[in-house]
Amino acid sequence: MGRFPARTRVKAPIGRWAVVGHDLVAIVLAWLGAYWLRFDMGYVPQSFWHRGLTLLPVVLVVQGLVFWSMGLYRGLWRFASLPDLWRILKAIIVGTAASALVLFLGERLVLVPRSAFVLDAMLLTMLLGGPRFLYRLFKDRGLYQTSGKKALIVGAGRAGEMLVRDLLRDATIGFRPVAFVDDNPRRIGQEIHGVPVVADCGQLLQVATGLEVDIVFIAVTEAKADRMRRLVELCERSGRPFRILPGLQSLVDGQVTIRELREVRIEDLLGREPVCLHQEEIAQGVGGKVVLVSGAGGSIGSELCRQIAQLGPRRLILFERSEFNLYNIELELRRDHPHLGLLPVLGDVRDTVLVDRVLHRERPEMIFHAAAYKHVPMLENQGRAAVLNNVFGTETLAEAADRHRCGVFLLISTDKAVNPSNVMGATKRAAEILCQQISARSRTRFLTVRFGNVLGSAGSVIPLFKTQIASGGPVTVTHRDITRYFMTIPEACGLILQSSVMGKGGEIFVLDMGDPVRISYLAEQLILLSGKQPGRDIEIIYTGLRPGEKLYEELFYADEALLETVHPKIRVTPGTYADPARFTEGLNRLRTLCAEDDEQGVAEVLRDMIGLAQPPPVEPARIVTAPESEL
């Protein structure tokens, strides 16, 4: 973390002592004014007036001390608000009661009208609260925008109100809110900070056209995927640029401002709701332990390292074969967590000597095995490499974890391991079975977490689409009807950590991926979000399914008993066990075939061990010539 800049002294608009002086004068005026009002704003009998003046120093000291102790001088008049008014009222009530009590105990309230205390409190409220809010109105008189680009706000809820308030008060923004649209009929016709709610969201195009707005701000922080897709489609039809607030966390942090607005991302349209994790349970399970992450520089591995680092492990071992990726994640973690014990290890999980040395010396209590080859078409013709890395790499690390009595070994698997139609899925299924068989004879808790695609991971479809769009197209989609499950990388890694503290050993945890998404829909939306039209500005070419690719993925086998867990986003199954003897024989045959460099033999043995499904035939390429909305 960088050094903080030198602290500068900021002069308040009205100094604290000036405010204290103002309030002391107000106490005097209120006390004397209370006597004057008590006697009908006329002549105050001499004896009462003299008594009031005699007791004034006592009232001044008592109420002054109460006002100071109750924090009336922490806030600035420039930002006086309802909480400040409430603080003033509480201080006046306490101060008046304390004055009455002191005068009763000391002077028995001789020649002190009882109503004077009520009148004193009323006058103090006006004298203390009035100038503060008048001063704020005076300072704010030039802040409210009367010029600038016209902005239409979608959503008249709390986030919309906070956003409009920020737009109105910041003179440097250059946007002027002119109207709200909101789907709640009770809000239509109302005004928020003088900005009217004119129609429902379905009238967005008409409102934007009629008011000639320049930009649309989406201030809907709790929208489901279908509603967000509808709002984005309406914004796209308006032809205006649009921005979105990032989500609920901004409301929690009180940071709903114009500076939080950003462009709509594909994640917003997929509607992945924030995942609530059992943080205390995860912190107890991971904090203070020695943790090893294999594939630490990859998309999943690096995010796991980031989240683990926040949990305070005793030591974090970064096991990675890519020198560049290892360098990057180590540099990032040392920058963000300078006191974290880090051990970068450059090596391959298939290196038995290195794996054994690291586990013997460091004694990791938890291992997250994220290292794997994952590119489906590439591995179809390179089964040997896939088996060596995904199967025997897992075996090397898992057997070492068993020998050195590691507490938890968690394998990160994939939906492609279910009824696999490709080499990559078959190798991951073999790794699942391998971990379950070792778990049956080990004190180590072997767990597996199975989930689908993650947004933005290296080699995934969305970065590819973005690159194709940036180069002017075309965007290539394998099949019009192909679907995939998606979740964000942070969400997946959070649920992986949650699973690591739940399992007893041998289970396969299946993450809730939501509904599958059409890849053609992703392509269309990414084109639209780039400001272009599919079929007109950017063509979409349907190339046909690639070798080993399925139209849709599955998260569990039909005969797997899927059970609920304590976390709504995680389900668990004991899995379907393979014949141990047949599986072991298959592993030995694979070892021999890999040594002989027999690619065809490797594919045949995998098919026999796992039961590879036959993928559908590859289709010829087709081109989209006109946009087709999936909404």
List the catalytic residues: 416
Residue 72: which residues within 8 A CB-CB, separation 6 or more? 23, 87, 88, 91, 128
Q: Please spell the DSSP secondary structure of 165-192, one letter per residue.
A: HHHHH-TTS-EEEEEEE-S-TTTTT-EE
Distance of CA 494 to the CA centre of its chain: 11
Strand segments, DSSP code E, in 280-339 are: 290-294, 315-320
Backbone angles phi, psi at 560, to 5 degrees: -85, 130
Q: Is 478 exposed, middle or buried (0-12, 13-18, 19+ CB in 10 A)?
A: buried
What are the distances in angstroms from CA 531 to CA 235, 240, 264, 327, 627?
Answer: 11, 10, 11, 36, 13
Helix axes 599-610, 423-439, angle to 10 degrees: 60
Residue 383: which residues within 8 A CB-CB, separation 6 or more? 423, 427, 599, 602, 603, 606
Selection from 178, 221, 227 nearest residue 198 by Cα: 178
* Angle formed at CA 211 by CA 206 and CA 215, multiple of 5 degrees: 90
Yes or no: say if 163 and 217 are a contact pair by the CB < 8 Å rule: yes
**CA–CA dist 454, 444 (Å, integer):** 28
Yes or no: say if 410 and 447 are a contact pair by the CB < 8 Å rule: yes
Supply the DSSP symbol for 598. Answer: -
Selection from 383, 373, 372 nearest residue 547 by Cα: 383
Q: Cβ–Cβ contacts within 10 Å for residue 387, how many?
A: 26
- Torsion from C-alpha of 553, 555, 561, 562, nearest 10 degrees: -140
Backbone angles phi, psi at 326, to 5 degrees: -65, -40
Query: Residue 458: how many CA atoms within 13 Å on its side-chain side?
Result: 12
Selection from 353, 389, 358, 384 nearest residue 371 by Cα: 389
111: left (phi over 0), alpha (psi -120 to 50) or beta: left
Supply the DSSP symbol for 520. Answer: H
Q: Please spell the DSSP secondary structure of 45-85, one letter per residue.
A: PHHHHHHHHHHHHHHHHHHHHHHHHTTTTSS-GGG--HHHH
**CA–CA dist 615, 625 (Å, integer):** 28
Strand segments, DSSP code E, in 186-309 are: 191-192, 195-199, 215-218, 242-244, 290-294
* Angle formed at CA 46 by CA 41 and CA 48, multiple of 5 degrees: 75
Residue 486: which residues within 8 A CB-CB, separation 6 or more? 270, 272, 452, 453, 454, 455, 513, 514, 517
- Torsion from C-alpha of 557, 559, 560, 561, nearest 10 degrees: 140
